[in-house]
Amino acid sequence: MASLIDLSGKVAVVTGASRGIGRACAEILASCGATVVLNALNDLEQLKILAASLQETYKTKCIPFTADAADAAAVNQLYKDIAQKLGRLDILVANAGIMEDALLGMITPKQIEMTFSVNVTGTINHIQTASRLIRRNGVDGGTIVAMSSIIGQHGNSGQTVYGASKAAIIGAVKSAAKELAGFNIRVNAIAPGFIDTAMTRNLPPPIYQKRLEQIGLQRIGTTDDVARAVLFLCSDLSRYITGQVIGVDGGMIV
C-alpha cells in the first residue's frame, strides 16, 4: 500500500485508535508514511505499545494521546499540543464511537446521552478543532473522515439510538464539507457494514449467521477493508470528493 500512496510529511489524528477500525486506520496511514497521533479515551499504556510498534514497523513517528472526544477542553488540548509539537495537521479520522443496543421501550435517557455524547458531540468536537489547525495549511488544505455506519443510513431493529447518532454524523459531515470546501478541506464519511471486531465476535451465533447471510460478498468485512477506504479518502486519489458517504459493507442489505 505504501508504494501506491505516499503520505510522508503529513500529520494525521485517528480517534478511537486503540483497537478495531481505528487501529487499522492508524496502521494504514503509518504504513504510507504519515505521522500518526493515536487518540483514545484512556489506556495510555496500550496506546504507547501500539504507537511504538507502528513506529518500529513503518519507521514513521506515532504519538499516543489520551483524550475524551466528548470533552471539548481535552480535545482542544490535543490539537494545541499538535500545533506546538508537530506544527501542522493534514488528516483527521474521527472514528471514536460506542454502540449499545436497546429495543424501543427499554432505551434509557443515560444511554441516549452517552451515545450522542461520544458519537456526535465527540465527532463534532474533533472536526471543529482539527479544522482550525488544518486551515493553516492554506491552499494545501487537508481531509477529514468521520465514521458513520450502515445503521445510520438504513436503520436496524434495536438500534434506534445508535442509528440516530450515526445518521447525525452524516448530517455533520455534509454541513462541514460545505463550510470547509473553501479552505480545500474535504470532509467525508465512511459507513461500514458488518465488520469483524471484538464487538461483532461477541454476538450470539444465530444473529452472527443472520448478519453474514445479508452480505452480498458473502463474508464479514475486516477492519482493513474499512481502513483502505479511509486511506482513499485521506489521499489525493479522492481529491475531488467531499461531502460523501461511502459504504464499506460488501453489498450488505439491512
Is residue 72 involved in binding other proteins (CB under 8 A)?
yes
- Options 135, 154, 211, 228; binder of other proteins; rule CB under 8 A: 135
Least distance from other proteins to the Cβ atom of residue 77, Å: 9
Residue 184 beta carbon to other proteins: minimum distance, rounded to whole angstroms: 14
Per CB under 8 A, does 132 bind other proteins?
yes
Residue 160 within binding range of other proteins, rule CB under 8 A: no
Look at residues 151, 250, 135 and name the one whose alpha carbon lies nearest to residue 187. 135
**What residues between 193 and 252 interact with other proteins by CB under 8 A?**
none
CB 194 within 8 A of CB 200: yes
Indicate whether 74 belongs to the interface with other proteins (CB under 8 A). Answer: no
- CB of 82 or CB of 252, closer to other proteins: 82
Which one, 84 or 218, has the nearer CB to other proteins? 84
The span from the CA of 234 to the CA of 253, in Å, is 27
Q: Among residues 136 and 239, whose Cβ is nearest to other proteins?
A: 136
* 96 vs 126: CA distance, rounded Å: 10
Q: What are phi and psi of 40, to 5 degrees?
A: -150, 165
Task: Establish if 85 lies at the interface with other proteins (CB under 8 A).
Answer: no
Count of C-beta atoms within a 10 Å radius of residue 44 = 13
State the nearest-atom distance from the C-beta of 48 to other proteins, in Å: 24
Stretch that binds other proteins, among 40-48, 133-141, 185-193, 228-236 (CB under 8 A): 133-141
Which residues share a beta bridge with 63? 37
Residue type, 245: V
Q: Do 43 and 18 meet the contact criterion of CB atoms below 8 Å apart?
A: yes
Q: Based on the residue annotation, tell me whether 208 is a catalytic residue of this protein.
A: no
Stretch that binds other proteins, among 44-52, 70-78, 96-104, 216-224 (CB under 8 A): 70-78
Smallest Cα–Cα separation from 123: which of 155, 88, 168? 168
The answer to the question of residue 73 lying near other proteins (CB under 8 A) is yes
# of chain residues touching other proteins (CB under 8 A): 13
Interface region with other proteins, contact rule CB under 8 A, candidates 3-11, 105-113, 114-122, 126-134: 126-134
Give CA–CA dist 39/20, Å, rounded: 13
Q: To the nearest 10°, the Cα dihedral for 204, 206, 211, 217?
A: 120
Select the residue interacting with other proteins from 12, 93, 118, 133 (CB under 8 A). 133
Cβ burial 89-122 (10 Å sphere, 16+ → b, else e): bbbbbbbbbbbeebeeeebeeebbebbbbbbbbb
Among all residues, which ones are annotated catalytic? 162
Where on the chain is the footprint of other proteins (CB under 8 A)?
72-73, 76, 79-80, 83-84, 128-129, 132-133, 135-136
